[in-house]
Structure 1
Amino acid sequence: MFNSSVGVLRFSGILEGISYLVLLLIAMPLKYFFDFPIAVTIVGGLHGFLFVAFVILVAFVKFQKRWSILWGIWAVFLSFIPFGTFYLDKQLRTKS
């Protein structure tokens, strides 16, 4: 998976997607239902870092592979949707 920049992007997308799901499905319920806001602080910070790294990698791969700007927009858009980066991973597996 780490053989190419696309492989690193795929791995980054998987990590970002997992952190997003943990934030939505575990940390936020802990904050709002069990009055445990530190979970969102910790997971949210980690997710923010992974999201920024993912967007930087999308831009890097987009320019390196000379893929269209619409592909880059699509990749970032999918990161806002739960399970979206897993769908992007499936697309990248066939594209790389």
Structure 2
Amino acid sequence: MNPGALTRFRIAAYVVGVGLLALVLVAMPMKYLGDDPRLVQIIGPVHGALYAIYLLFTFDLAMKSKWPMGRTILLLIAGTIPFVSFVAERKVVKEARQREAAAA
């Protein structure tokens, strides 16, 4: 597995995960419970841009790792469901470390 691609994926997964949690746990309740849409108007587009970067980095890692299309699609979707990008990142890193240890 390409170390640079893996690092980019890891950073993107965490950043997108935190951004999505901020959107879902802070901004959306403020909009719907507090009648204040300002945070959604800020965090929403930022998360969207960061998610686009996550898609690029995930796809790059998938191509370099020669993952099957199904796995790639699942990882691409992981940035849209709260907490799932964190789980996906851990699973990918665990697999990368196992492959590295097996190759040594």
Q: TM-score, normalised by structure 1?
A: 0.90
Q: Is the 8 A contact 2:59 2:76 kept in 1?
A: no
Measured on the aligned residues, the alpha-carbon RMSD in Å equals: 1.1
Residue type of the alignment partner of 2:18? I
Q: Shift in Å at residue 70 of structure 1?
A: 1.4
State which structure, 1 or 2, has the greater radius of gyration over its C-alpha atoms: 2
Alpha-carbon distance in 1 for matches of 2:80, 2:46:
15
Gaps of 5+ in 1: none
Q: Shift in Å at residue 36 of structure 1?
A: 1.3
Q: Secondary structure at the match of 1:67?
A: coil
Q: Shift in Å at residue 89 of structure 1?
A: 1.1
Q: Shift in Å at residue 80 of structure 1?
A: 2.2
Alpha-carbon distance in 1 for matches of 2:15, 2:57:
13
Count of residue pairs brought into register by the alignment:
94
Gaps of 5+ in 2: 97-104
Q: Secondary structure at the match of 1:15?
A: helix
Q: Deviations along 1:24-75, whole A, 9 cap, x unmatched?
A: 0000011111121111010001100111111111111111121111121110
* Counterpart in the other structure of 2:53: 53
Residue type of the alignment partner of 1:74? L
Segment drifting more, 60-69 vs 47-56: 60-69
Q: What percent identity do the matched residue pairs reach?
A: 26
Counterparts of 1:25-44 in structure 2, within 5 Å, are 25-44=25-44
